[in-house]
Amino acid sequence: MPQQQRAARTKATIVRAAAEVFGNIGYEAATISDILRTAGVTKGALYFHFASKKELAQAVLDVQVSSVPTPPEQPLKLQRMLDQGMLVGHLLKRDPLVRGSVRLTVERGGRGAPDRRLPYLRWSQEVWGQLEMARESGELLPHVSTKQTAEMIVGAFAGIQGMSQTFSDYEDVCERASSLYHCIMPSVAVPAVLGRLDMAPDRGARVMASIEVARDRSATAAA
C-alpha cells in the first residue's frame, strides 16, 4: 500500500477511535492515552496528524455530517429529509463515529474545548436545502419559513437525542425521533403529502438496509 494511503487510513482510524472514546466518556474525561489504546497506534503516529486533543476533537466534529450516508432519492423531498434524520437516530445506536461526534456537539466544554458550532450550521444548511426543494415541489404549507424550520428541527433533534442518551443510552432515540417528526410535520407539510410520509421508528433501519444493498451491488459490479 502506498505511503499516502497508509497515512490516510491511519488518520481515519485515529479519528474513529477518538470518536468512540469521546462518545463513551466525553471530551473532558478523555485522554490521549485512551485514544491511543483504542486506535492501536503509536503516539508518534497520532501526533503526526493531530497536534492536540482539541484538534483531534475538531476533526471528529468536522466529519459528522459526511459520516452519515446520503439517503436514497425519494418521490417526496420531505421524505428524504426525514430519512436523513431517522438514519442519524439509527446510527447513534450503532456507529461510534456518529455517536461520538454528536456527543461532542451537544456537550458543554471549557475554554479549551473545540468549536461545536460547525455541525449545527452544517445540519441546519442541509435541512434548509431539503426544505427549499420540498417547497419547489409544492410539499410545504404556505406559511412555512424554511430557514427557521430547519433550525428548529436541528435544535429539537439535538434535544431529543440528549434525552435519549440520558434515559436509555440511545436505545429509544428512534422512537423519540419518530414522535418529534409526528409533532412537527403537520405544521410543515400539505395534507396530501403528510399522509404519505413514513415517520415510523424503524424507518432509519430500513433506509440503512437499502443503502447497504446498493453498496453490495456496486461492489459486485466493480469486482
Could you give the domains of the chain? 3-62 (1.10.10.60), 77-222 (1.10.357.10)
Is the per-residue pLDDT at 219 higher than 70? yes
Residue 152, judged by CB atoms within 10 A of its CB (0-12, 13-18, 19+), counts as: middle
Pull the grid cell for residue 19: 470518536
- Asked if residue 17 lies in contact with residue 35, where contact means CB atoms within 8 angstroms, the answer is yes
Confidence label for 127 from pLDDT (cuts 50, 70 and 90): very high
- Continuous segment of H or E residues that includes residue 30: none
pLDDT of residue 223: 66
Look at 138 and 58; give whichever has higher pLDDT.
138
Percent of the chain with pLDDT over 70: 97
pLDDT of residue 65: 77
**The model's pTM:** 0.86
Task: Please give the backbone phi and psi of residue 140, each rounded to the nearest 5 degrees, phi first.
Answer: -100, 150
Burial 101-140 (b: 16+ CB within 10 A, else e): bbbbbeeeeeeebbebeebbebbbebbbebbeebbeeebb
Spatial CA neighbour of 31 closest among 56, 7, 60: 56
Is the per-residue pLDDT at 81 higher than 60? yes
Look at 68 and 83; give whichever has higher pLDDT.
83
Is the per-residue pLDDT at 3 higher than 80? no
Query: In sequence order, what are the residues at sequence separation of 6 or more whose Cβ sits closer than 8 angstroms to the Cβ of residue 37?
Result: none
List, in sequence order, the alpha helices (H) in 26-139.
32-39, 43-49, 53-62, 77-92, 96-106, 117-136
Confidence label for 180 from pLDDT (cuts 50, 70 and 90): very high
Is the per-residue pLDDT at 164 higher than 70? yes
d(Cα 110, Cα 70) in Å, to the nearest integer?
33
pLDDT of residue 109: 64
pLDDT of residue 161: 93
d(Cα 186, Cα 66) in Å, to the nearest integer?
29
pLDDT of residue 23: 87
pLDDT of residue 150: 98
